[in-house]
A and B are shown apart, each in its own frame.
Chain A
Amino acid sequence: MEKRVFFRNRLLPWLLVAPQLAIVAVFFFWPAAQALYQSLVEQDAFGTSVVFVGWQNFERLFADRSYLDSFVTTAVFSALVAVIGLSIALTLAVMAERVTRGAAIYKTLLIWPYAVAPVVAGVLWLFMFAAPMGVVAYALRELGLEWNHLLNPHHAMALIVMAAVWKQISYNFLFFLAGLQSIPRAQLEAAALDGAGPRRRFWTIVFPLLSPTTFFLLVINVVYAFFDTFAIIDATTHGGPGKDTAILVYKVYYDGFKALDIGSSAAQSVVLMVIVIALTVIQFRYVEKKVQY
């Protein structure tokens, strides 16, 4: 199946990929190298004194109980965001695909949230849940649930998960929809003629055929939850109550940009980099085997 293209000129292929390589080098490798370097030095905010400290930044991190706790917080948060986000998006995609009248309107509306910046998404959800006057907080109180994400860690976690999921649903939805549209009609019709109901057809035909899409989205969503969610947390809970919603990337952001502790922030981003590399390797090694292309 693999398709190979041969170039006569040995330089041409390099020339063709050069722009992309340059971008990757400048925007990915250079910053990553900077982070590695900065994680090994201790410097004041303005960089006027820079002292090489070896592994000290890392040693201090792993001696900090709250840092270790935030691994658990991050795992819980990422799992919730990925699982809930994918389930809802898949449900919506399946339903949107069945719609014949006004399909474009539904699709546009579902894709909309993707245009919203994470901070705005955070603020939006914060408004709805702000006690006592937020729309949802008010409704919940009428139902007998006193919503308080400022002091209740479960409420706080629920709030950031909802905001993060909502922000990512559009993206997931788009890919699922495209995946659904590429499923051969003939197979579905054959199954229907053999007497398989919609539920059966979904689980035995659609879901397995969607697995490459699902796998891709799983990787993307985990990366998203790990890296792109600090703005949502900064806008809603600030990592509180206590440190109960302080996920790893939020701490990187807080220590680097608010507390100006660049050494520790760099060390944390190196740790994050290692985690994501490891996660991606694991996913490709073990999960991908279950994927049918």
Chain B
Amino acid sequence: MTTLRQFLAVASLSLGAATTAQAQTEIQWWHSMGGALGEWVNDLAQDFNKSQSEYKVVPVFKGSYDESMTAAIAAFRSGNAPHLLQVFEVGTATMMASKGAIRPAQEVMQQAGVAFKPDAYVPAVAGYYTAPNGQMLSFPFNSSTPVFHYNKDAFKAAGLDPESPPKTWPEVAGAAAKLKVAGHKCPFTTSWISWTQLESFSAWHNTEFATKGNGMRGIDARLSFNTPLHVRHIENLANMAKSGLFVYKGRGNVADATFVSGECAMITGSSALYGNVTRNGKFGYGISTLPYYPDVPGAPQNTVIGGASLWVMSGKKPADYKGVGLFFAHLSKPEVAAASHQRTGYLPVTKASFELTDQSGFYKKNPGTDVSVTQMIRKTTDKSRGVRLGNFVQIRTIIDEELEQVWSSKKAPKEALDSAMRRGNELLERFEKANK
């Protein structure tokens, strides 16, 4: 018996020693930021770890957005979820509906004793991640918005003024025609077709993409993008495709590479494409606001956000959450948020970080970087606040599929939009039923 008792005593002693050695609480952070953006994430964690000694944020790269989300779901099901998970904007409704799996970011910050001021955050950004009751559910980390990128060298070669990019869709078609005459094989293309040509297009023209304020006011929303305005726009793009002015380059952000390489002269894509073009593009580069139809009243309004936010997963120790709250407070500091915005091209998270960047003269030194900000920092309307729908990943794929039928002239624009709406609404009905 004595030996057993001795053994237990030794065992408990060594356990005690282990806990003191592990005084630092680790916070697992799964993200999807590769390359230069991965370095940015690591720097953020390192700065925070240096600023205090109690917590250690450990960033882990888990592949693309959908891969890291799938990985986190599998981990959650087996009880090994990370503390923090970076989720892309289309996954937002899924996360919001998974009440048992997440903890509201605002609550985590408040319980950590951090002063939380909801009006410190940029409304168009934080609003997207805020529940109808006004609680901020996830931390707005990296947000972007679609803008218009163009190749100034190609403009010059085609006899266009590189300093006055087209502002409206008729002007885009005109510029594309001139580029084509000058021998350009791909005058205009686009990435993220649903996000740029339907979701942001709707908000930009103060029109609903889906009912219930694009799903922001409830999960019983239904798609509504077959209005004459939407049909007119898709018809316009289809005509441009037929005459070789618009060239379809694939789903997702595949088209980005064709702009960076100089193959395509104009593109509507994420504002975060900025970093890639300035690093890898070998041409004069300009950014402008998303084109619109000048005869539509209320246009241009504002665009909608993309990118991702940080979600706090449930089921961890209370002490861990304190560290998460402190980390969020660190990310919200004006100087930290401003540095992130300037480094990546993502939108500023807080108003103070925007003002700080403005005062530092960053926008004057880097023309074009303020386009995304000015597109977003506007008073939003009920129709333009953002698009938040269940099963959104599938809805975007449906839109890809249906619009491909338009570019290959198999379906008329109205027919394709109607069909995309019908198929998408079936998914929304299911989501509503599953989350009552």
Instruction: Tell me the A residues contacting B by CB distance below 8 Å.
Output: 42, 44-49, 51, 132-133, 150-152, 238-243, 254-255, 257-261
Contact = CB atoms under 8 A, between A and B. Distances in A.
23 contacts: A44-B435, A45-B94, A48-B98, A48-B99, A49-B100, A51-B434, A150-B249, A151-B407, A151-B408, A152-B408, A239-B401, A241-B408, A242-B404, A242-B405, A254-B397, A255-B394, A257-B70, A258-B397, A259-B393, A259-B394, A259-B397, A260-B69, A260-B70
Contact of B66 (A47, A240, A257): A257
B391 interface: yes
A39 to B, nearest CB: 16
Interface string B232-265: 0000000000000000111100000000000100
Given A150-B248, A242-B405, A261-B394, A44 B70 contact: no
Contact of A151 (B97, B98, B185, B248): B248
B401 A240 contact: yes
Nearest to B70: A257
B94 A47 contact: no
Contacts of B101: 46, 48
A133 B69 CA distance: 34
B76 interface: yes
B305 to A, nearest CB: 21
B73 interface: yes
Question: When A and B form their complex, which 4 residue pairs have the shortest distance between CB atoms, in order from nearest?
Answer: A48-B100, A46-B101, A151-B408, A241-B404
Contacts of A46: 73, 76-77, 98, 100-101
A132 B397 CA distance: 25
Contacts of B394: 255, 259, 261
Interface in B91-105: 94, 97-101
Given A44-B434, A242-B404, A260 B250 contact: no
A150 B254 CA distance: 11
B400 interface: yes
Contacts of A132: 185, 263
A138 to B, nearest CB: 12
A105 B402 CA distance: 48
Contacts of A51: 434
A238 B97 CA distance: 27
Contacts of A257: 66, 70
A258 B67 CA distance: 8
B421 to A, nearest CB: 15
- Decide if the interface of chain B is mainly helix, strand, loop or mixed: helix
A206 to B, nearest CB: 45
Given A150-B250, A257-B70, A42 B434 contact: yes
B98 A44 contact: yes
Contacts of B393: 258-260
Nearest to B404: A241
A260 B401 contact: no
Given A240-B251, A242-B402, 8 more contacts: A44-B98, A45-B94, A48-B101, A151-B408, A240-B404, A241-B405, A258-B393, A260-B73
A260 B410 CA distance: 30
A254 to B, nearest CB: 8
A254 B401 CA distance: 14
A240 B400 contact: yes
Given A132-B185, A132-B263, A45 B249 contact: no
B210 to A, nearest CB: 18
Contact of A47 (B77, B249, B404, B410): B77
A49 B248 CA distance: 40
B233 to A, nearest CB: 19
B250 A242 contact: no
Contacts of A152: 408
Contacts of A44: 94, 97-98, 434-435
A267 to B, nearest CB: 14
Nearest to B185: A132
A151 B247 CA distance: 11
A291 to B, nearest CB: 42
A261 B70 CA distance: 11
A272 B294 CA distance: 52
A151 B404 contact: yes
B405 A261 contact: no
Contacts of B185: 132
Contacts of B263: 132-133
B251 A260 contact: no
Contacts of B98: 44-46, 48
B73 to A, nearest CB: 5
Contacts of A45: 73, 94, 98
Contacts of A255: 394
A175 B303 CA distance: 59
B255 to A, nearest CB: 10
Contacts of B77: 46-47
A150 to B, nearest CB: 5
Nearest to B97: A44
A255 B430 CA distance: 14
A53 to B, nearest CB: 10
